[in-house]
Amino acid sequence: MNDPRKKNPTLGIAVFIVVVVLLVIATILYNAISEKHEYERENPSSSSTSALSAAASAVNAAKGASQ
């Protein structure tokens, strides 16, 4: 009788490596995004308020020009 052939574990190892690499990338992205949100919470950006005031002055100028 023929002995059963041994399976080649190459495909399993390749899938395992791909899964591990994807998990590492996902972890790095998650940490970067969460730290960015934490930094923005601690240090509010003044550029958003200046952009808001610039937009408000542009609206006021447009109202004045239309009258």
pLDDT digits (tens, 9 = 90+) for 11-65: 999 999 999 999 999 999 999 999 999 999 999 876 555 566 767 777 677 666 6
* pLDDT value for 66: 57
- In this prediction the pTM is 0.55
Domain boundaries along the sequence of the chain: 9-65
Q: What is the DSSP letter of 1?
A: -
* pLDDT value for 48: 54
Token pair in block for residue 9 = 């574990």
Q: How far apart are CA 46 and CA 49, in angstroms?
A: 5
Q: How far apart are CA 36 and CA 32, in angstroms?
A: 6
